[in-house]
């Protein structure tokens, strides 16, 4: 019986080996077959690990060891063990030996993983959190069914589809509210100003999470991208690089150009990365020729991406803001613009994540492997990835231009980020939900006296200087970028920003 089970599992592993072999012929990060149809490994390689090679024999013997251990645990462990949990733990253990970015995504997490990659899902459009036993709305997402229905920050969801939301987990609440586009979900909402909860029916729609943000929201809750109206300096923040980021960025730039933009701050602080293709599209918007990025891996040929002149935005001065938490795709963009001297980089040295993960579907898409298959290099050929054992003197990441490295204290960084997050929230009910004209159509005298939310300073937080015109904590990194751009526009002596050394 033992050998029978062992044999069946070994056969399954051999089949799985063939499936992984198919993934070797895929392009990094895209999951698409290579255009020339060639295999990543040269044909006839005696040590390629195929079943008929010596390496393949060793592979088969190692699989037998694993399956024998699995069989012993399954039959003899002191308690009954879930085989699925054992296998998933084995997968996680195997991938943990590789690098911090290779991972196994189990069925329970695959939908959330896809949502993070796509920045798009079917739902009602609200951000929620647990406040004690209550499910509280952080903010509706602009333009979604929840926004149109007038749900707002501070409202508490008491019921979802007739089920009490008291004590419900965030994951369970999200599962109940997500669903097929066009279907309805029933909620009960308790607002602070109401005595009794009210019933709300929302029709699920495609929810696209904005990845391109401005400085603050206007009266109609759209983003204001013009930061300095007098000097005509725009500010665009990119939270992550999703499938629609380049499209959103083009729309923001078009709006800024209509307003007479003369310079731009591109804020990539706290941007963890995203899709390689999205980063390439963003770079291609700002440079008209030359290399954007290149990738190379053990089992994949070297690839390079070049910029194209059509669609390139004007040659206005630019500054890119990064910090230690800017990683991956945000490092591709900042390194590209720096190497082409299209923009200066201001802030702090980036994270140093220069590897490409290919998503390999398992179980017909019910789970997946996120596997590191290549590393990428900046246009000048220098390395970005911070390898184990690298220190501050080694070549990795993206450094600010000379004279533009601005470090923030922990207190400064927390206060600035808290103020930024507060400005992302929608705190007023949409005018249409209250039976009024949209705020953008009101006469100036009817507009609210305060359109920007103010954030309370956390208890025990150190007192920090605030900008007199906004009341926000002073952002020294942003101020340094603005100083450079104003000088470039002729509003002061223009210092030469030192061109970056290779890999710096």
CA-based nearest residue to 13, from 55, 57, 64? 64
Instruction: Please report whether residue 422 resides in a domain.
Output: no
Q: Say yes or no: 158 and 219 in one domain.
A: no
Q: List residues bridging with 14 in a β-sheet.
A: none
Asked if pLDDT for residue 436 goes beyond 80, the answer is no
- Comparing 11 with 405, the larger pLDDT belongs to 405
Instruction: Please report whether residue 479 resides in a domain.
Output: no
Q: How confident is the model at residue 470 (pLDDT cuts 50, 70, 90)?
A: low
Instruction: Please report where in the chains the tokens 């999200």 appear, as a residue.
Output: 174
> Which phi-psi region, left, alpha or beta, contains residue 420 (left: φ > 0; alpha: ψ -120 to 50)?
alpha
Most confident of 18-32, 57-71, 284-298, 435-449: 284-298
Structure tokens at 468: 């007199």
Q: Say yes or no: 386 and 283 in one domain.
A: yes
Domain edge (last residue) among 357, 391, 410: 410
251-260, pLDDT tens digit by residue?
999 999 999 9
Q: Say yes or no: 274 and 361 in one domain.
A: yes
pLDDT of residue 6: 43
Number of structural domains found in the chain = 3
Asked if pLDDT for residue 53 goes beyond 80, the answer is no
Percentage of the residues of the chain whose pLDDT score is greater than 90: 53
Q: How confident is the model at residue 464 (pLDDT cuts 50, 70, 90)?
A: low
> How many Cβ atoms sit within 10 Å of the Cβ of residue 179?
16
Instruction: Please report whether residue 423 resides in a domain.
Output: no
CATH of the domain at 239: 3.90.226.10
Q: Report how far residue 134's alpha carbon sits from residue 141's, in angstroms, rounded to the nearest whole number.
A: 20
Q: Say yes or no: 217 and 183 in one domain.
A: no
Q: Report how far residue 236's alpha carbon sits from residue 319's, in angstroms, rounded to the nearest whole number.
A: 11
Q: pLDDT averaged over the chain?
A: 81
- Comparing 2 with 160, the larger pLDDT belongs to 160
> How many Cβ atoms sit within 10 Å of the Cβ of residue 146?
28
Q: Report how far residue 476's alpha carbon sits from residue 377's, in angstroms, rounded to the nearest whole number.
A: 30
Structure tokens at 51: 């079943």
81-92, pLDDT tens digit by residue?
999 999 999 999
pLDDT of residue 465: 58
pLDDT of residue 499: 47
**Residue 119 near residue 243 (C-beta atoms within 8 A):** yes
Mean pLDDT value across residues 452-462: 35
Q: Report how far residue 165's alpha carbon sits from residue 486's, in angstroms, rounded to the nearest whole number.
A: 52
Q: Report how far residue 167's alpha carbon sits from residue 137's, in angstroms, rounded to the nearest whole number.
A: 14
Q: Say yes or no: 132 and 222 in one domain.
A: no
CATH of the domain at 145: 2.30.42.10
Domain edge (last residue) among 190, 208, 226: 208
**Residue 281 near residue 298 (C-beta atoms within 8 A):** no
Domain edge (last residue) among 154, 189, 208: 208
**Residue 303 near residue 355 (C-beta atoms within 8 A):** no
Three-state DSSP at 85 gives helix
Instruction: Please report whether residue 485 resides in a domain.
Output: no
Mean pLDDT value across residues 38-43: 34
Q: How confident is the model at residue 468 (pLDDT cuts 50, 70, 90)?
A: low
Three-state DSSP at 127 gives strand
pLDDT of residue 141: 87
Q: Say yes or no: 243 and 196 in one domain.
A: no
Instruction: Please report whether residue 478 resides in a domain.
Output: no
Instruction: Please report whether residue 89 resides in a domain.
Output: no
Q: Say yes or no: 132 and 281 in one domain.
A: no
DSSP state of 365: G
Q: Say yes or no: 349 and 282 in one domain.
A: yes
pLDDT of residue 167: 93
The answer to which of 106-120, 363-377, 437-451 has the lowest mean pLDDT is: 437-451
pLDDT of residue 108: 84
pLDDT of residue 289: 95
> Which phi-psi region, left, alpha or beta, contains residue 455 (left: φ > 0; alpha: ψ -120 to 50)?
beta
Three-state DSSP at 348 gives coil
Q: Say yes or no: 216 and 203 in one domain.
A: no
Instruction: Please report whether residue 169 resides in a domain.
Output: yes
User: Which residues are catalytic, by number?
Assistant: 328, 339, 353
For 290, residues 6+ apart whose C-beta sits below 8 A from its C-beta are: 306, 307, 340, 379
Where does residue 337 rank: exposed (0-12), middle (13-18), buried (19+ CB within 10 A)? buried
Percentage of the residues of the chain whose pLDDT score is greater than 70: 77
The b/e string for 383-419 (b: 16+ C-beta within 10 A; e otherwise) is bbbbeeeeeeeebbbbbbbeebebebeeebbbbbbbb
Q: Report how far residue 425's alpha carbon sits from residue 217's, in angstroms, rounded to the nearest whole number.
A: 9
**Residue 15 near residue 7 (C-beta atoms within 8 A):** no
Instruction: Please report whether residue 484 resides in a domain.
Output: no
Asked if pLDDT for residue 15 goes beyond 50, the answer is no
CA-based nearest residue to 334, from 481, 19, 342, 264? 342
- Comparing 447 with 472, the larger pLDDT belongs to 472
pLDDT of residue 32: 34
- Comparing 123 with 260, the larger pLDDT belongs to 260
Q: Say yes or no: 386 and 305 in one domain.
A: yes
Q: Say yes or no: 223 and 192 in one domain.
A: no
Three-state DSSP at 368 gives strand
Q: Say yes or no: 148 and 248 in one domain.
A: no
**Residue 105 near residue 367 (C-beta atoms within 8 A):** yes
Asked if pLDDT for residue 446 goes beyond 50, the answer is no
Where does residue 52 rank: exposed (0-12), middle (13-18), buried (19+ CB within 10 A)? exposed
Asked if pLDDT for residue 20 goes beyond 50, the answer is no
- The Cα-based distances of 102 to 52, 191, 242 in angstroms read 28, 43, 19
**Domain extent at residue 24:** 2-33+45-81
137-167, pLDDT tens digit by residue?
988 888 899 999 989 888 999 999 999 999 9
């Amino acid at each position: 019986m033992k050998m029978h089970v062992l044999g069946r599992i070994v056969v399954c592993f051999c089949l799985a080996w063939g499936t992984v072999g198919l993934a070797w012929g895929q392009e990094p990060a895209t999951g698409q077959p290579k255009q020339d149809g060639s295999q990543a490994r040269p044909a006839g390689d005696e040590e390629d690990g195929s079943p008929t090679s010596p390496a393949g024999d060793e592979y088969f013997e190692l699989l037998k060891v694993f399956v024998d251990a699995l069989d012993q645990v399954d039959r003899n462990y002191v308690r009954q063990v879930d085989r699925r949990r054992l296998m998933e733990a084995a997968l996680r253990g195997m991938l943990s030996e590789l690098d911090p970015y290779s991972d196994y995504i189990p069925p329970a997490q695959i939908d959330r993983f896809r949502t993070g990659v796509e920045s798009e899902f079917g739902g009602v459009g609200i951000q929620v959190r647990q406040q004690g036993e209550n499910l509280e709305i952080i903010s509706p997402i602009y333009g979604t069914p929840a926004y149109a229905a007038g749900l707002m920050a501070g409202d508490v969801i008491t019921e979802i589809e007739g089920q009490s939301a008291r004590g419900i987990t965030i994951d369970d609440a999200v599962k109940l509210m997500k669903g097929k586009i066009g279907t309805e979900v029933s909620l009960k909402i308790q607002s602070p100003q109401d005595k009794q909860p009210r019933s709300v029916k929302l029709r699920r729609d495609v929810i696209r999470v904005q990845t391109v943000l401005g400085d603050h929201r206007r009266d109609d809750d759209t983003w204001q991208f013009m930061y300095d109206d007098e000097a005509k300096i725009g500010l665009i923040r990119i939270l992550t690089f999703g499938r629609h980021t380049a499209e959103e960025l083009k729309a923001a730039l078009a709006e800024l150009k209509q307003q007479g933009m003369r310079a731009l701050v591109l804020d990539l602080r706290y941007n963890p990365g995203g899709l390689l293709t999205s980063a390439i599209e963003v770079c291609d918007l700002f440079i008209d020729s030359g290399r954007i990025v290149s990738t190379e891996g053990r089992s994949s040929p070297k690839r390079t991406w070049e910029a194209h002149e059509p669609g390139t935005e004007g040659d206005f001065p630019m500054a890119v803001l990064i910090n230690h938490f800017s990683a991956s795709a945000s490092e591709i963009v900042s390194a590209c613009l720096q190497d082409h001297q299209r923009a200066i980089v201001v802030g702090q040295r980036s994270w140093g994540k220069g590897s490409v993960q290919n998503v390999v579907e398992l179980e017909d898409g019910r789970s997946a492997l996120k596997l590191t298959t290549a590393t990428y290099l900046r246009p000048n050929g220098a390395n970005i990835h911070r390898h184990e054992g690298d220190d501050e003197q080694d070549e990795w990441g993206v450094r600010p231009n000379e004279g533009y490295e601005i470090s923030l204290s922990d207190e400064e960084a927390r206060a600035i980020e808290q103020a930024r997050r507060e400005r992302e929230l929608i705190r007023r009910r949409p005018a249409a939900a209250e039976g009024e004209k949209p705020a953008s159509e009101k006469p100036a005298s009817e507009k609210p006296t305060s359109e920007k939310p103010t954030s309370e300073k956390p208890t025990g937080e150190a007192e920090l200087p605030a900008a007199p015109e906004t009341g926000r904590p002073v952002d020294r990194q942003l101020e340094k970028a603005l100083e450079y751009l104003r000088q470039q526009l002729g509003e002061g002596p223009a210092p030469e920003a030192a061109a970056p050394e290779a890999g710096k």
